[in-house]
Amino acid sequence: METTDLIFRIILIVIIFAISLVVAMYSTYAERKVAAFFQDRIGPNRAGPWGILQPLADGGKMFLKEEIIPTNATPFLFIVGPSLAILTACIGSAVIPWGQKMIIGGHTFDLQVTDINVGVLYIFGVVSLGVYGVMIGGWASNNKYSLLGAIRAASQNISYEISMGLSIIALLMLTNTLSLREIAEQQHGWHWNVLRQPLGFVLFIVCAFAETNRTPFDLPECETELVGGYHTEYSSMKLGFYLFAEYINMFISSAVMATLYWGGYNYPGMDWVAAHTGPALGPLIGVGVFFLKIFLFIFFFMWVRWTIPRFRYDQLMDLGWKILIPLAIANIVLTGLVSTALTHFGF
Amino acid sequence: MESLSNKKKVLEVKPLNFLERAYLPAIMGGLATTMKHFFKKPVTISYPEEKREFSENFRGMHSLKRDENGKERCTACGLCALSCPAEAITMTAAERQPGEEHLYREEKYAAVYEINMLRCIFCGLCEEACPKEAIYLDGDIVPADYLRKDFIYGKDKLVEAPLNQ
């Protein structure tokens, strides 16, 4: 690896890390604003113009609050829980292709931290590690309600991971690759996978809602039934990390959905734009389009939150096991039949 | 039996059809409804800067009125105290001395007039009982305070400001 390439990679890692933190920070603000607009209110508007300093104020509050570690908690695990949650949320961004390859002064810069050929598997592995943060947090609190909340959260995450994995298999049958870069490249222009896999996308987005613990599947933090769920005993920034991890997860899963199904950085007419703007600026426009898609998905997450009420726990499990998994399997069979028919009979 | 009002609706519980069971159309409808609200004008009133007007018949803090010459109307007849169901009003009557004609309208006036705002239920019966149109509940919301004794409002807080000040 060349030195310039190495330096570029390090800069890219720092930038992506900063971006995902800032996006998560401002998602909390956006969530409050969006919630306000959906409820005919104004929302935070006191800290700075239009309240844009609100996340900083919230962060400051989180840091300055008293930090409590319960007497009977396991101190080490108690701290590891939220750290794991935020770590697993952050490292998912490593394989996401943020844009096309950029060419500046003869050098090719890859707008992706690392293009591993098992990118999809990596994402799934990281996402499933997120359960540990929740589970350890609930266990280390030494509080039976936290533990119950953690078990609920863990079983929900595991159940929905199955149908998520199954829904992605149908997509992989079409793409024949696990590399996110290649999947994004295959959707060049407007050949977006959502057009070939509409059912798969619906299944995937439902599972993504459950995986990120967003409404209507936000049962891990059901105040009315479980005090606070797995993070009942947490205070100050350790609680903040759990909440923050949720927003980073939302950002990463939006990026994954945009990459897998909605064409990533591709948009109709991109070749024409690239030819007119050059090999350095063209990919940057693609990055802008990619972020636009991500923000639309984040907005969709919030939109759904203020529309659909929370599921009951048994309904949640019913939906996951009795509906989504059979549908995902049917989707696989359907995809196999159609693609075989297409290749063999040449329709 | 025939319903008298003709408004009775018999509820039919039909099994859900496929689209209804699939949830998704209903969810789309819900999303459309919330999206409509996204573009509505907010109804928020930013309180310290903007204040909402009270309605015409709002009953707030009491005030003891003066007449057109700036004399106190109250004659300490005690009807307000008598009509008060919460027994919040007390007063001490005094006789007007020569040279005080410009202060009090009649020969008798209230030397002390106190309303315990912790007892007052803002029913407005004092207003109705007053034969001299001396007391009205036309003020603002009674402000909060730290000590119970500060909620006993005397004439200093109740009497209207003099006319030409």
How confident is the model at residue B47, as a pLDDT? 85
- β-partners of residue B114 are B90
Q: Report the range of poorest mean pLDDT among A132-141, A242-251, B12-21.
A: B12-21
Q: Report the range of poorest mean pLDDT among A251-260, B70-79, B154-163.
A: B154-163
Contact list, B27 vs chain A (CB under 8 Å): 304, 307-308
Q: Does A307 contact B31 at a Cβ distance shorter than 8 Å?
A: yes
Q: Report the range of poorest mean pLDDT among A101-105, A135-139, B68-72, B77-81.
A: A101-105
Return the DSSP state at B147. S
User: How confident is residue B164, by pLDDT bands cut at 50, 70 and 90?
Assistant: low
Global pTM value: 0.82
Identify the burial level of A290 via C-beta atoms within 10 angstroms of its C-beta, where 0-12 means exposed, 13-18 middle and 19 or more buried.
Answer: buried
* Amino acid occupying residue A298: I
ipTM score of the complex?
Answer: 0.79
Q: What is the mean pLDDT of chain A?
A: 88
Q: Is the pLDDT of residue A232 over 90?
A: no
Q: Nearest residue on chain B to A39, judged by CA atoms?
A: B37
The string of pLDDT tens digits covering residues A58-68 is: 889 999 999 88
Q: Does A304 contact B41 at a Cβ distance shorter than 8 Å?
A: no
Q: Does B42 contact A38 at a Cβ distance shorter than 8 Å?
A: no
How confident is the model at residue B54, as a pLDDT? 86
> Which residues of A, range 193-212, sit inside 8 Å of B by Cβ?
202
Whether B89 has a binding-site annotation, put simply, is: no
